[in-house]
Chain A
Amino acid sequence: MATYYFLIVGHYDNPIFEMEFTSANRETKKEDHRHLTQFIAHAALDLVDEHAWKTGNAYLKTVDKFNNWLVSAFITSSHIRFLLVHEPKNEDGIRNFFSEMYEVYIKYSMNPFYQVDTDIRCAAFERKALFLARKYLTG
C-alpha cells in the first residue's frame, strides 16, 4: 500500500501540519489506521531527536520502524521535524520530497503573520505538498 503520511512537528512536539498521501488508484479504506500512524510518528520523534545529533545531515533517512511501517525524517536547521510514515522504501523520492518541502516550509514561515510552531492552515501549502507528494512519492 503506497500510503505516505507526512507530518511537520514543531518544537513542542506539536504537529503543525499533517497530510496523507495515497496513490491515486487506491482508495482510502482505512480510516481506523490514521491514529496508528500518529502513534508511530510520535514515537519516532524520540529517535529523530537522537539521530539529529549523530549526523549533520538534515535528511535522517529511516529512523524508526514499527511493524511494516517505516519512519523517515528530516530535520531543519531550526529543528522543525518532518516525518514521513510509509511502507515502501523510496529513499530518493523521500529525500527529494523532504528537501522541496523544506523550501516550501521556509517560504511559508517567512510570512510575517505566521508564528512558528503554530498550525499551518494554508490551502496553497497543502496544494504544494500534494503536488510534491505526487511528484516524488505516490506518482
Chain B
Amino acid sequence: MKNSPQEFIQKTFSPMVAVISSTAAENVCQKNNLSFIDLLRPFSRLTCEAQFRDPSGASIPVRGLQLCFRQVDHVPPPPPLARRMLDDAVASTPPSLPSNLRNSDDPNREEDVVDETHFPWFELWREEIGFLVVSSVEEEISTVERLNSLWKEVQKLSSKTTGGPKWFFTNSILKYCVVLHDESSSEPQRAEAAFSEVKCVFGVGCHLLRINSRKLNGNANDNEENGVIDYWVPYLPAQNVENAEDLLLFKEEVHDPASDSIPMQKDSIPEIGEEASPDVDKDDTDTSSIPSLSYVVQDHPLSPETEKVSMAGMNEDSENSSTKRYGSIRKNQAVMRGAHLSNADIENIKAMINDFCTRSFIPHAERLMQILHEGISNRKGMSRSLFSATKRWFGGNRPGLQGPPVPSISYASDAPELQLRRLADLCFLLGHYSVASDAYRSAKRDFAADGAWTHFAGALEMAGLAAYLHWNSPGLSQSDPTGSSAQGVGPLGAVVGGGPSSLEAAKKAIEYFDQSVLTYLNTCRMYNLATRATLLASEVLLTPWAGSKHGEAAASLVRLAGEDSDLRSALLLERASLCLLSFRQPLQTSVKLKTSSTNALQSLSPGQETAPVTPNNLTLALSASSKALPRKAALHAVLAGHRYSKAGHRPHALRCYAQAYKVYEGKGWRLAEDHIHFAMGRLASHLKRPENAAHSFSLLLSPSLNPPFYVSAFTPSPTTNQPVSPSASGPVLIPTRNQPPSQQAIFLKEFLNAQIQLKMKDTENSEKKSLPVLPIPTIEQGSVRVLLGSSPSLPDTHQQINDRVQLASGVGFGSKVEEDGNIGWAKLEENLLLAAQGSVPMLFMPTVQLYSDTTDNSISPIGVMGEPVLVQIRLCNPLGIPLPLSDIRLLWMHTPQSDSKPPTEKSSTSSDDNTSLKDEGCKGNGEGVVARTQVLPSIILAPTSNQEVVLSITPLCMGELRIQGIAFRLSNPTPGMQDTSKLSSSDSSSGNLMVEAKSPEKLWDIAMSVAFKGLPTELVGGEIRSCHIELRNVGLRSLPLRSLFVATPSPNTFCFGLNSSHADKRNAVKTGDVTLAKWRNSPVNNELGKDNVRPLPPGVWKLGTNSIAKRDGGEMLDKDSLLGPGQGLIVPMWVRGPEGQGEKSVSLSLLFYYEAADELHVGTSEIQKGSFQRSPRRPCHRLVRHSWKVEMLDAVELRGRGGGSIGEVLPGCGSSPQSLSLTLNLKNCSPSTVRPGVGMVSEVNLLRASLASLHWAFAPKKPILPVEVKLGAQESVNLLFKAHRSEDNNPNEESILFSDVLLDETMNSGVSLDPHTQHWALPAMPFSYQSRIGEEGKTGKSSSDIGDDDRAEEATITSSAESSMPTRLDATLILRWKALVKWNTMSDGAESMTKEHWAFGQHQVSIDALSLTPGSNHSILGGGVSWSQSTLHSLPNSVSQMTPLEVLQRLVTHSIFHPPRVIHDFSHSRLCLVPVKLILQNCSNYHLVVEVQTSSLGGYPANKNQLYSPHPSGQFLWVGRISAMVNLLPHASSQEAITLTAAFPAPGTYNLASRLSVSCRQCIDKKDKDVMLSLDKPNTLESEKATLEGSIELGSKDLRTHLGKDAVTQVWRVESAVVVVGA
C-alpha cells in the first residue's frame, strides 16, 4: 500500500489507453452501476511478470505497469469550467473543522494537498498508446460489426481537427478488442461463438470478458456478507466528485487565458504538435489500430495511496477514518457497485488486463521502440543540421532568464526531432529509466539547440524525473543494497557504491528541474506547465535522494504562487508550508515522511505534554541541520489562508489559519495573533460557525487569558505538584493589547456580530440557553466583595448634617478591613456576647458582614431573607474604547433547603434574552419569588479604566443561594452601529464570586434600625456633646427584641443615658460655695438584679433597662426590657472628645447588639449546644455597626497634683483635720491661629470644678481665683483647691461624695450650664466614674473597669495590694469648662468660612495617692492607650504584692508646732531651747505603729568654704525626749502631741526636720504576714536636695529603728524652719 514518490510518479505518468465501448457494453456494465472504465479502474495494474527487450536487445523486466483507461472522446472542459471545477474540487473536500480550531490533527487537512499535488498531470502522455474496443455479446448486430463500427467512430473522432484523441504514434495504433459477456443474461455458448468470430477477424488482440456471473439474490447485503470487497471505494467516492477531479486535471492546461485560443496541445509536450493523422487505416495493414492515448488519467486523488504519496503528516488512523468515511458516504448514496460481480469476474478482469499488457501492449511498445531507435540511429550520422547549428549560434539565449517570451518552435507530430523524445517516453513508460534519462538528455540538447524552449523544458523535466526514478527504482535498490542505503542517508551519508553517481545525478536532476521551471516560467510563460514541473520537482526534492531539501522545495512552490490565481497560489503556499513542516530523519532509509511530519506537528503544538523546547545547544544544533521550519511554515500557512479566503474557500482558509496559529499561540506575537484571530473570526462567522467566530473574537478582545506558556517555566513550582495558580502569574504578565482603539472598535463590532449569530443559532437549536462568557470587561480578581445585612437604605455619609437624623453607618464597602482590625469589631462582639449571654461560644466566629479576599471565606456567609446582599465588583476595561454596559445584574442559583422542599434548583442563568428575563424570569426562574435582583440600568466603562459596580440581590426564600456571576449587555459604542446587541456574560473565573448565601432562619428576621441625632463630627478634646440614639425594631416578623447592648472600643468617649436615680438630689447640700451630693454607685431600684450580677466587660453598656431611655410614647421599657415590634427607644448618649489626639480625625465606633426575644431562642441555644455535632452555626444575635469620623482638636490640657496636710479644722468641715491641697494646671494648648481644616480654641472659660471621692470634698471655702478665668491660646492657669476629709467615717460604699464648686462668678449655680445636661452631675460624673472608688471589699463586682484607661492602669498598681493602699486618695477632680472654638471649614472657595461656637467639656484628673504627682503626663485623660490594654487589666491580676515605695511615703503626715521665730539672748544662755510639738496623723486605713527618732548626729556639715550657706542649718541638737513610739489607728491622729525639744547653739535658721526621722510599719497583729510591708532601705531624697531650696530633707541612714526590718522609714519634707534670732 505504501507508495513512494517514485511509484507516485510512475502512476501519474502511466500509459493511457483510450476506450470506446458500445452502448450495449455500457449497459452491461451499468448493471453494476459502473461504466466500463470505472469497472476497470481498480484493476488497471499489471499483476504478472512481463518483460520486453530494449532496442539494444537487453531484456528488461516490467513490473507493476499501471494503465489508465480513458474514454476516447474525452474532451477537456473549457477553461472557465475547469476553473470552476477546481474550485468545486477544493470546496468539496471540506476540512471537517473541529469545533475547537486548535485541534491540529485535522484528518482532512492533507486531502487538499493531495488534490493539489495531483491536479496538473496533463498532457504529457496525451497520446493514447492503446485502444480498447469494447463490445458486448448482446448486440443486435454481430459483435464484429459492432467493433468495426466503433472503430470507425474512433477514426472519425481522430479526424477532427481539435478535441479528438491524439495518437502516440500515428502509424501504428494498438487495438485490442474486448467482448463483454454478461453471464447473467446470455448463454456462454453464444459468447464463445461471438468471441471466436471476433478472434478470427481481429487476431490476437481480443479478449472475452465474462462478468455479472453473480446471482443476485435481490439483496444488496449479500455483497458484504459474502465478503466481496468493494473495490471502487477508494476510486469512486462520489460521482460528482469524481467528475470534478477528472476535470480538475485539465484545469491547468486551460488555465492561462492566453493559451486558450490555440489548441492546448500545441504548447504542451512536443511530440503532439499535430492532430492525429487520419490515415490510420492505410498504415495499419492489420485492421487493428493502435490509438494512442492522449490524456493521462491520474489515480483518483482521494485514494489512500496518493494520500500517502503526499507529504501528509497523517497517521494511519486518520487515513483509515477518511477511507471509512468515504465508504460510508458512498454507501449512503445507496449505490451498490459491483453487485453483480463475483470473485471470478474480478479475476477475469485482472486476467484481461494482464493479457492486454503482456500480449498486446508491451510487444507493441517494444516494436515502437525498435522503430524509433532505428530512426534515431539513422539520423545520427547527420549530426546536427546546419540550421540548428546556426540557430544555436544566434538564438542561443539561455533559457531561464527573464525576457520576453521566446516564440517556441513547435514540431510536427512526426517530426524527426521528436523521435528521440518519443523513444525516451516509451522507455520511461516501461520503466527503463536509465535509457529514458539518457534519451531525454540528448533530446534536451537538441531542443536547446533548436531553441524549442517548451520542448526543452519538457525534456529537462522528464530527464530529472527519469534520473530520479532510475536511482530509486526498486530494481536498483535490490541489486545494489548499498546504493539504496546511500540514498537513504542522503548527501551526508553517501559513501558507498553508486553513492557518488547517485549524488551527482541528484544534483543534476535538481538542476534540471530548476531550469525546466524557469524555462516554463520565463521563457515560455506557461504557468500551468511550470506548476506541474514544480510540483513534481518538489516531490522529488523532498526525497532523501535529493537531500530532503524542504526549504528548496518550498521555495520552488512559493515561486509559483503568483498573483494570477488565488486558489492555485493558496494550494501552492499551503503545500510549501507543509514542505517546511516535514523534516528529514537522517537515520531512516526509507521515506517515512508520514511519521516525521507527525513528529514535526507534535513539536509544533506547544499545548502538548512535551516539555517546552529548552534552548540548549544540542537541540539548537539539531535544529540547524534537520529541524523543520515551523515558523516559516506558519507564515506560509497564513499566506495560504489569505489566498484561500480571497479565492472563496473559507473552510480551507480557516484551516490554514488555525494551523498557523498553533505556532504563534502563546508566544506574545500579539499583532500577528490578532491578525489571525480576526481572520479566523471573520471566516468562521461567514461559515456560520458562530462558536468558533465568537471564540476567536473573544481571544482578540481579551487580554491574553492564559499566560504565555513559558511563564510556567519561570515560576518556580512550589515544591509540590500543585498547579501553579493563575493568580500567581498575576496580572503583571498580562500584556495590554497594543492595538489602536479604532482597531479595537472593529474587533468589538465583529465580536458582537458573532455573538448575535451565535445566539440566533442557539435559540434555533436548543431551548438551553447559556450565556456566553465575554472577555471584556474583565473582573478584577480579588476585588469582589460581598456585603451582607446592610441597612436597607444605603447610607451616604456625605450628605449627613449634624442636625439630621443619621442612620447607623453599618458596614459599607467603604469600610476597610484594616480599619476593622483597628476597631476590633470581633473583640467587641465577643464582649457583647459575654455581656448578653454570659459566655462566648467555644468556637467564637465573629459575624462577618463584608466578605472580601482578605476575610475568611471558608464558611459560606449567612444572609437574611429580605435583606439585600450587595456585591461589589470592579470591572476593568482594558480596551482603548469605551464600553457601554447595560442591564447589569447578578446571576444566581438557588437551592432550597433539602429537608423542606424537593431540591429543585432555580437559577437566573438561563434567563438569557430580554423577554425571558422579564416574563419567564419572573415565573420560571424564580426572579421575584426566590430572589430579587437589582438591575443596574447602564454604565459606560471609560477606556482603560476600572469602575466599581455594586449589585444587589435580595433572597426571598430560604435555601442556598449561589451567586455565579454577572450578566450584562454589551452594546457597540461606535455611533454607526445602532443595534445594541444583547449579550450577557457570566464570569466564573473568580472563585470569590461564588458566594453561598444561606437564607436565614426565622430568628433572623429581626432587624433593628439605629439612628443618631446630632452626632458630632468635630470635637475639642474633652468636649462633651449630647446626642440621641433611636433604636427601632423594624423586623419583618414582628418579634420583640431584647438584650440591647452597645459596645465601643473607646469606653471613655461615650456615656449612655444612666438612670437619674444615680443622683440623689435630696441629699444635695450646699455649704458655702460648694454643693455636695451623693452619687450612688448602683441604681437605687435594682429590679434586674440578676443581670447586674453579671459583670459587663469594659466598654459595654446595656441599654434600655437602667437607663433613662424612653419609648416613643414616653413610657419606659417593658419589665422584660423587650423592644416590641415597631417600637422605638430613644437613648441619650454623651460623646466626649477623646483627648491627646492632636489635630486629626478620629474614628469612633459603636456596635449594637440585639437578639430576638422569642421562644425560638431556646431552640437556638440548643442548636448551639449541639454545635459539636457540626451542625450549622446559627447565630441568634445581630449586630449593627456605626462608625464615624470626628475631627479632633486638642485644646485643653490639665495637670493636677495633690498633697496632703494636716491643718486646722476648718469650719464646716467636720472634725477631721486632714486636708488635701490640690494643685491644678490648666493650659489651653490650641494653636494660636486658625488654619484651614483645623480649628482653634480662642478662649477657655472655667465653669466649675467637682471632686468625686469617697471621703473627700471640697473645702467649703471658695478657692481663690481671678474674677474671670479666660485662657487664650497657649495660656495656662494654676489653680489650687483645698479638700478635706469627710467626717463620715463609715461611708456608704455605694455612694460617692460629689462636691461641686462654681468657678465662674457670672454663672448662677442654679442655671444649667450645659443645655445638654439634665442633671448637673450628668454627664460629668459618669465620665469620671470610677468603680473602684469605695470599692473596698467590692472588687470584682460590677463595672469594675468602666473608667479611664489610665486609671485602670493605675488601679492595677494600687488595687493590687488588695485595698491595702492606705495612701490612696481615690479622688477625681473634674474641671468643666467652656471654650470658644473656631472651626475653619474647608470650603472650596478662596475664602474659608470660620465657624464659631461654644463647646462645653470637662477634664478630670484622678488623684490617687498623696505624694504622687498625677499631673504628669498620664494624668491627661483619655490618652492614646488602646482599649485592648484596658481589657488586659480588667483581668483580676496578680501583680506583685510589694507596694511601691512612693505609695508608702505618705503613710503618715505630721503637723509640727513650734514658734516660728524665737528670740533668744545667747549671752544669757548658750543654748536656746525651743519646744516642738509633733502631731502625727495616720492617713491610711491601717493601724500603724510609728516611731519617731531624733538623732544627735547627722545633719549637714557646715560648708566651711562658703561664707554663706543657702541652706538652713542642721547644727542643732534634740534634747530631752529623743524618741517616741506611737500607735496610730486608721485615719487617726496621735492622741497627744509628741513634745520634743531642740537646742540651738547660735542664731540662724534651722531645719527642724534634719535630725528627725519617722518610721512606721503596719501593726502586725492586725494584718497577715504577707501584707507586711517591707522596705529595704529608706528613701534618701538626695537628688531632690538641690531642687528644693530652702528646705532640707535628710535621709538618715544611720537612723536604725527598732521597728525591725519591715519597718519603713518615712522621711518627709518639713517645711518648718525655725528662726533663732540673737537678742
Contact = CB atoms under 8 A, between A and B. Distances in A.
Interface of A: 10-16, 31, 34-35, 37-40, 42-47, 49-50, 52-54, 66, 79, 115, 117-119
Nearest to B624: A53
A16 B669 CA distance: 10
Contacts of A43: 631-632, 634-636
A12 B667 contact: yes
B623 interface: yes
Nearest to A51: B624
Contacts of B672: 35, 38-39, 42
Contacts of A38: 669-672
A35 B671 contact: yes
Nearest to B635: A43
Q: B interface, how many residues as a size bin?
A: 35 or more
B297 to A, nearest CB: 39
Given A13-B667, A35-B675, A46-B630, 6 more contacts: A12-B667, A14-B710, A52-B620, A66-B635, A79-B620, A119-B668
A39 B709 CA distance: 20
Nearest to B617: A79
The 3 A-B pairs at the shortest CB distance, nearest first, are namely: A53-B624, A43-B635, A46-B629
B30 interface: no
B656 to A, nearest CB: 13
A49 B671 contact: no
B735 A52 contact: no
A53 B671 contact: no
Interface string B623-662: 1110101111011101000000000000000000000000
Given A31-B743, A42-B631, A12 B620 contact: no
B624 A42 contact: no
Contacts of A16: 668
A53 B632 contact: no
A117 B624 contact: no
Nearest to A46: B629
A53 B626 CA distance: 12
Given A50-B624, A53-B621, A54-B624, A14 B667 contact: yes
B394 interface: no
A34 B671 CA distance: 7
A35 B638 CA distance: 12
A10 to B, nearest CB: 8
Given A50-B624, A54-B624, A15 B669 contact: yes
Contacts of A31: 740, 743
18 contacts: A12-B612, A13-B667, A14-B668, A14-B669, A15-B668, A31-B743, A35-B672, A37-B671, A42-B631, A42-B669, A42-B672, A43-B632, A43-B634, A49-B620, A54-B624, A79-B615, A115-B714, A117-B710
Nearest to B636: A43
The interface centre, meaning the residue of B630, B632, B663, B672 with most chain A CB atoms within 10 A of its CB, is B672
Contacts of A10: 710
B87 interface: no
B669 A45 contact: no
A46 B624 contact: no
Contact of A40 (B615, B635, B714): B635
A38 B634 CA distance: 12
B615 A42 contact: no
B671 A11 contact: no
Contacts of B735: 119
B527 to A, nearest CB: 19
Nearest to A49: B623
B1203 interface: no
A35 B632 contact: no
Contacts of B1465: none
A11 B672 CA distance: 18
The interface centre, meaning the residue of B671, B708, B740 with most chain A CB atoms within 10 A of its CB, is B671
B552 to A, nearest CB: 13
A118 B635 CA distance: 24
Contacts of B743: 31
Contacts of A42: 631, 634-635, 663-664, 669, 672
Interface in B589-632: 612-613, 615, 620-621, 623-625, 627, 629-632
B667 A39 contact: no
Contact of A39 (B620, B635, B708, B733): B635
B1073 interface: no
Given A12-B667, A14-B710, A117-B714, A53 B620 contact: yes
B1551 to A, nearest CB: 75
Nearest to A10: B710
B674 interface: yes
Contacts of B668: 14-16, 119
Nearest to A31: B740
A79 B621 CA distance: 12
The interface centre, meaning the residue of B629, B668, B675 with most chain A CB atoms within 10 A of its CB, is B668
Contacts of B625: 53
Contacts of A117: 710, 714
Contact of B624 (A45, A49, A115, A118): A49
Contacts of A50: 623-624
A54 B740 CA distance: 40
A139 B668 CA distance: 30
Interface in B734-772: 735, 740, 743
Contacts of A14: 667-669, 708, 710
Contacts of A53: 620-621, 624-625
A3 to B, nearest CB: 15
Contacts of B713: 12
A41 to B, nearest CB: 8
B631 A13 contact: yes
The interface centre, meaning the residue of B625, B627, B635 with most chain A CB atoms within 10 A of its CB, is B635
B851 to A, nearest CB: 34
Nearest to B606: A12
Contacts of A45: 631
Nearest to B625: A53
Contacts of B624: 49-50, 52-54
Nearest to B742: A31
A117 to B, nearest CB: 6
Contacts of B669: 14-15, 38, 42
A15 B671 CA distance: 11
Contacts of A49: 620, 623-624, 627
Nearest to B668: A14
Contacts of B613: 12
A11 B619 CA distance: 12
Contacts of A39: 635, 638, 672, 675
A45 B580 CA distance: 13
Interface in B386-431: none
Interface in B669-686: 669-672, 674-675
Contact of B615 (A11, A34, A47): A11
A44 B634 CA distance: 11
Contacts of B740: 31
Contacts of B708: 12, 14
Nearest to B622: A53
B666 to A, nearest CB: 8
Interface string B706-740: 00111001100000000000000000010100001
Interface string B230-258: 00000000000000000000000000000
The interface centre, meaning the residue of A12, A45, A49 with most chain B CB atoms within 10 A of its CB, is A12
Given A12-B667, A53-B620, A79-B615, A47 B714 contact: no
A47 B635 CA distance: 13
A79 B613 CA distance: 14
A122 to B, nearest CB: 14
A47 B632 contact: yes
Nearest to A79: B615
A38 B668 CA distance: 10
Interface string B1469-1495: 000000000000000000000000000
A42 B664 CA distance: 9
B624 to A, nearest CB: 4
Nearest to B629: A46
